[in-house]
Amino acid sequence: MGRLTGRRAIVTGAGSGIGRASALLFAQEGAAVLAVDRAADAVEETARLVRDAGGRAIAMAADAGSEHDVQACVARAVSELGGLEVMFANAGVSGGDVALDDQTVELWQEVLRVNLIGPFLAVKHAGRHMRAQGRGSIVCTASVAGLRANAGGTPYSASKAGVISLVQTAANSFAGTGVRINAVCPGLIETGMTKPVFDYARARGSTDRIGQINPMLRYGLPHEIAAMAAFLASDDASYVNGQAIAVDGGLSSTHPFKRRRQ
């Protein structure tokens, strides 16, 4: 039996990258999955991949930063999957590489709406259901950019620092309810969000230098973040609560520096 056998899970941002990898792994571990993404075709493809691998999944096109949509996701998981024990609030946007002086209020509002208000809505509505049943695990995607500077743009980094604080404060709000909440903090992972970084490096012929400032000397892959999310969702993490766990090859263990050539 898998670690998530008999559980029902929502994964947002499931149309690609970390979300798709997590939907596939959660299903492999035995969960029935509601895969959610704004990109309808992409999330339908994720659900099909899960079913083709022998898992159970349904797809739903929704905006993770809309309270109406988040409520609808939770209601659909309960009605069509039969319940909800796992919420992975993973959806996010990068906000692009915009100089501080050129950033607008509108840019900040959209990044915070998706990256921080989205997880808050997931915590609020999934948490309400989980609290009533006396158990559940919520996982949020934060980032090493939320731990310190130079791992993302200003609005992105601020939003992810907010996610870490949300997880810490929500863990205490859920005290005694049987509901756990944690965050995973990815380092540089090859996803659709980071595609410009990888495209630029490949165009310059410097792909081998991507991730060189972390001790593992490489970038990460979506399935490596999915593995941490699955752990946090499972009873293997039954005493892990209110934590922000970096999965970054060791990047956050030090301050960035230029490695000397041997």
- Cα distances from 141 to residues 53, 99, 163, 233, in angstroms, run 25, 24, 8, 13
Residue 100 token pair: 């501080």
Specify the DSSP class assigned to residue 146.
G
The verdict on whether 200 is a catalytic residue reads no
Q: Which of 156, 200, 219, 239 is catalytic?
A: 156
Backbone CA torsion sign across 131, 132, 136, 142: negative
Alpha carbon 208 to its chain centroid, in Å, reads 26
Under 8 Å between Cβ of 64 and 89: yes
Task: For 70-101, give one letter per residue: b (16+ CB within 10 A) or e.
Answer: beebbebbeeebeebbbbbbbbbbbbeeeeee
Q: What positions carry a catalytic annotation?
A: 156
